Amino acid sequence: MRFRACVENVPTFCKIMQVIDRLQKKCIIQFKPDVMRIICLSDANEAGIQVWSEIKVSTLFNEYRIQSNADNIISMNIASASLLHALQGIQNALATSGTGSGLGGEEVLMKLAKKNDQALLNFALTTPTRTGRLQSLTYDVRIEVLRALDMTKINEPLCPDADTLVLLPSLPTLRSPVERLRALSSTLFVRANIGPPTKLLLEVTGDENEVKVKVEFGVKYVQINRQEEEDAEAPGKDKERLYSVPIVAKSFVKFLNCHIVNGHVIAAICHRHCLILYFYIGSAGADAGGVLTFYIPSLVDDGPM
């Protein structure tokens, strides 16, 4: 198997890994000819969140060459923090040299390599130092190559159709309320209706029942074509009805770490089943640079709500 690419967009790659690192120590990265997938499986993190993401190769890399016996797909386990630190180091080096972003200028070469029987992802670049002289910098991140057979056992979670889909308010707006709510209770209820008017509610009941807080946002309902047809067919569908998912409050907080990356979020609520958050890097829609999908399972809750 061979793999090499130039990392064009170090800052974005860095930010994505920052989000992943906050969530889980180890993740799976799968390089395919057109996309890079990053997968965090729930058994490794306390909140039960799974992250499945698909990032277009063109968002982050160029001169991308991949070859393997498994349909030119290469999958690996990697420590998120190590990859993050390597990228941050690269970012620092580029910043010191003045280019700041790796966009044009120095080439950051990433490739699959092996040293001492240890597979690794190697990053190399040559940058000028503060004095203008050249320095060469390399990072080797240990990886564990996964076989295609292993990957067949890893599947994206199946969810029923969403009961409602809404466009979340901007993530920075959500941060403060969610932090406060998390401080008051470990369980967060996420609710939304179809509307219009469509509203998103974040509710908690204090762990000792000493407080009830409900934060309400006016949001936009997201229509997928299929949905529209359904709505047309079922005019009696309750626009007011609130669909709820109780989740671990910390999960939502971890998800909100995405605010460091520019993007938009569509939230899908499957009543009492799961909450799926689709984070579109850059703009939403077809020309998005990629999607990070967060699957947050519902808590089993016998509460009055």
Partner 1 sequence: MPSATNASAEPAKPVFTASCHDVRYLTALLRGISFSNRATVMAHEGGLRFSVEEARTMTGDSYVHSWIFDEYEYNDPDFTQSQSQTQSSQATVVPFEIRLNTLIECLNIFGTAGLSSGSKQQHKKPRNNIGDDDDDSDRDGPLDKFFQGNTKGTGMRMSYAGAGYPLTLILAESSSGPTATCEITTFDSDPEDRLEVEIDNEDIALKVILKSSWLRDALSELDPSCEKLTFFGNPPSQSNNTSRSTPSPLFRILAEGMFGSTEMDYPNDREVVETFICQEPARFSYRFSHISKTLKALQVSIKTSLRIDSKGALGMQFLMPSGQAKEDDGTLFVEFRCIPLDDRL
Partner 2 sequence: MQATLDVTGLKPFTKALACLSKYGDDLTIYATPDSLSLSSTNSSMSAYARYKFVKQFFVRYNVGDKKTGRDRLADGVQEVLTVTGQLLTKSLLSILKHRTVEKSVSRCELSIVEGISSDPDDEDNDSLESKLIVRLHCKHGVIKTHRLLLLTPTSLLAPGSPSTLSESRLTIGPRSVKDMIEQFPSTKTAKGNPQLVWTFSHTDVHLKSVDSFFDSKAGAQLSTELTISADEFDVYDIYCPPITIAFHLREFNASIAFADSLALPLDLRFTDPLSPLYVDLGDDTFEALFVISTSQVHGAGGGASQSRGASQAANGDGPNGNGRKRSRDEDEPRRLANRKKPMKVVQRTDVPGYHRTSEPELMPPPSSIPQRRSPQFSQPHAGPSSARREESEPLFFPPSSLSAPRPQSPLFTQHQQDPEPLFLPGSQPSQAIVDSGLGIESMSAAEFEAMFEGDEEEMELLGSQTLSQKQLMEGGESSLQRGKEEERKLEESETESDTEPEDDSMSFELLPTQESREGDKSFRPLFED
Radius of gyration of the chain, Cα coordinates, nearest whole angstrom? 21
Cα distances (angstroms) measured from residue 66 to each of 114, 208, 209: 16, 55, 56
We find the least distance from the C-beta atom of residue 255 to partner 1, in angstroms, to be 13
Q: What is the DSSP letter of 123?
A: E
Q: Which does 260 bind (CB under 5 to 8 A by kind): partner 2, partner 1, none?
A: partner 1
CB atoms within 10 A of CB 4: 16
- Yes or no: say if 7 and 60 are a contact pair by the CB < 8 Å rule: yes
Residue 282: exposed, middle, or buried by beta-carbon count in 10 A (0-12, 13-18, 19+)?
A: middle
Least separation in angstroms between CB 162 and partner 1 = 22
> Contact at 8 Å (CB) between 38 and 60?
no
Q: Which does 209 bind (CB under 5 to 8 A by kind): partner 2, partner 1, none?
A: partner 1
User: Which entry of partner 1, partner 2, none binds 138, CB below 5 to 8 A by partner kind?
Assistant: partner 2
The interface partner of residue 237, options being partner 1, partner 2, none and the CB cut-off 5 to 8 Å by kind, is: none
Query: Which one, 250 or 264, has the nearer CB to partner 1?
Result: 250
Q: Which residues in 166-195 contact partner 1 (CB under 8 A)? A: 169, 173, 175-181, 183-184
Instruction: Give the x/- contact pattern for partner 1 in 22-51, rule: CB under 8 A.
Output: x-----------------------------
- Phi and psi dihedrals of 152, rounded to 5? -65, -20
Residue partners of 21: CB distance under 8 A and separation at least 6: 80, 81, 84
88/122 with CB nearer partner 1: 88
User: Can you read off the two tokens belonging to residue 302?
Assistant: 């016998």
Query: x/- contact string, 217-256, with partner 1 (CB under 8 A)?
Result: xx----------------------------------x---
From partner 2, partner 1, none, which one binds at residue 142 (CB under 5 to 8 Å depending on kind)?
partner 2
Shortest approach of partner 1 to residue 183 CB, angstroms?
6
